[in-house]
Structure 1
């Protein structure tokens, strides 16, 4: 699989990585055997980048990855920190940074974390000089090799990109969330900052497998966070109305029907092929999904009618409702 340099980390990573939120919690139960099978199938298919967080399953995702890393030290692992406490700027302190990174190092079984990302913190944290002074200290101490910021909004991304030692930005980018194309991706490319694209399938909508009658388990965030009561609603179905998303996904599926790939693979390829994107991190609940996702990294350039169709679908269903929100 093609490798791209992950911004200021200097590390080569696969254009299709693996998001591991689902290996911890919030997508229904996944056994440890299934989780390890997903990790193995991904690396066998050429994936060299895993994204996790200290709160996924209260550390379970990191721990499973840590066991896998013993035999696969070539994989770059990005974790995230900051969601173990209330989202108040005063909780983003040097003491807490040390405690959070120490816990992640234990979970992953490493001395130095490859990449630590602030986990969608308040804007005041992203804008504060002290935040980056503390992160620089962790680099100097050898606890982390590099740091980035996972963001909810384009404005947050632009603020972080302006910082000289930010290695990467993680942001929601998919065929239903086009705003990062306007300013974020060009700014990141100019600054040499990597872009990690998350929620690339709009929580599964872009797979084309759902209809208006589809339901999800009670412990799945696609059930309990549709109103944003647990965390930012943009993380669930990219913040789009579910019924509108189903209709838009049906149009997207029709748009890519003759490409010889699944709608999910076409949606992932669309993200990979956006200028400035380093890697895309779809999740997978089983080995077959992991292999299918990885294959999207080898799809030829999408035809112009697909690219134009994505913009048309976005303008029809979503631009007015969400473009200015994130």
Structure 2
């Protein structure tokens, strides 16, 4: 795996591994995690050739950055392309404060200062607002990010969950490396207007939720219980009839995977990677065994006939239930 293929993140972005690692679940939102195993998984990913690691200052209220910083102290800095989001605000009990997201020019500089300290680095490779705040012009946010890039504190400017019009306005202020957005066989929304806009402007896409938060992994069952700290307990796609309908789609995908001699999750990841050279899937592996399985997706070859077979198994728009609960959906510029 040391020779893991690389892709360019847009016309102006860095060269990154064809699969990146999303570290959120090591600190937050998916229930308890084993910190020692998380550290071991981060090291294993870098050893395997994964250089893109994605986090946010609000994952675990800073814990995730400190966890990654612990790993960075034992690696060469140039082994890792750090992607960091900011903007969401937490409460002492582990909850999230109500929107709007804090993405003002002042917040850019303040939040960046704390991230640099927690990560133990003097620069972040890609820094991005986690969501749009309609009360803060995107030009203000990107203008402050441009200042930080010119000062050397960040190397590239990214976006997250933003619609086509906002992407165009941002790109008019400064080069944008990539948009981070949920994209999977069960979340095909970006295909309508966002992906064409990114291709036109030479902007990459880092896709999170490629396994639809575990639904497409092939390891999920209708009997699995979710704790109160796992946000999937309130996710529509994991509830009742929605879950049953989605698991039927997963079963159909599993039959394709079986024919290919791959796992269901590997085929789901490979499908995302096959949608364009500017797309890089992020996998949320929290354990080394799951990481090894996910990286096996790079060996799954999907020809045109197989892609058509996958489309029949999981057609666009077939997912049952929204990807977030309604209050969270209302905050997504990418869904408007």
Aligned residues: 312
**CA deviation string 1:122-175 (max 9, x = no partner):** 3554x5322222221121222211111110656655654565422210011101
- Per the alignment, residue 193 of structure 1 pairs with 203
Partner of 2:126: 115
Alpha-carbon distance, 1:211 to partner: 2.8
Equivalences for residues 1-326 of structure 1 within 5 A: 1-70=4-73, 71-73=75-77, 74-84=79-89, 86-88=98-100, 91-123=102-134, 125=136, 128-151=138-161, 157=167, 160=170, 164-223=174-233, 225-226=234-235, 241-310=242-311, 313-315=314-316, 317-318=318-319
Question: Which of 203-212 and 263-272 deviates more?
Answer: 203-212
Moved more, 111-120 or 5-14: 5-14
| Structure 1 unmatched ranges of 5 or more | 228-235
The CA RMSD over aligned residues, in Å, is: 2.6
SS at match of 1:64: helix
- Please name the residue that 1:230 is paired with: none
8 Å Cα contact 1:62/1:108 also seen in 2: yes
Query: Separation in 1 of the partners of 2:69 and 2:321?
Result: 43
TM-score, structure 2 length as denominator?
Answer: 0.84
Normalised by the length of structure 1, the TM-score is: 0.86
How much does 1:33 deviate?
0.9
Question: In structure 1, the residue corresponding to 2:283 is in which secondary structure?
Answer: coil
1:249 positional shift = 1.0
What is the rounded CA distance, in whole Å, between the counterparts of 2:259 and 2:46 in structure 1? 29
8 Å Cα contact 2:126/2:156 also seen in 1: yes
Deviates more, 1:240-249 or 1:155-164: 155-164
Structure 1 residues 102 and 307, CA gap change in structure 2 (3 angstroms): farther
Instruction: Give how far 1:13 is off.
Output: 0.4
Give the Cα–Cα distance (whole angstroms) in 2 for the partners of residues 154 and 211 of structure 1: 36
Asked if the contact 2:25–2:284 (Cα under 8 Å) also holds between the matched residues in 1, the reply is yes
CA contact (8 A) 2:51 2:81 kept: yes
Q: Is the 8 A contact 1:256 1:306 kept in 2?
A: no
Moved more, 45-54 or 210-219: 210-219
2:93 — aligned with what? none
Residues 283 and 294 in structure 2, CA contact (< 8 A), matched pair in contact too: yes
Cα pair distance change 1:61/1:149, threshold 3 Å:
same
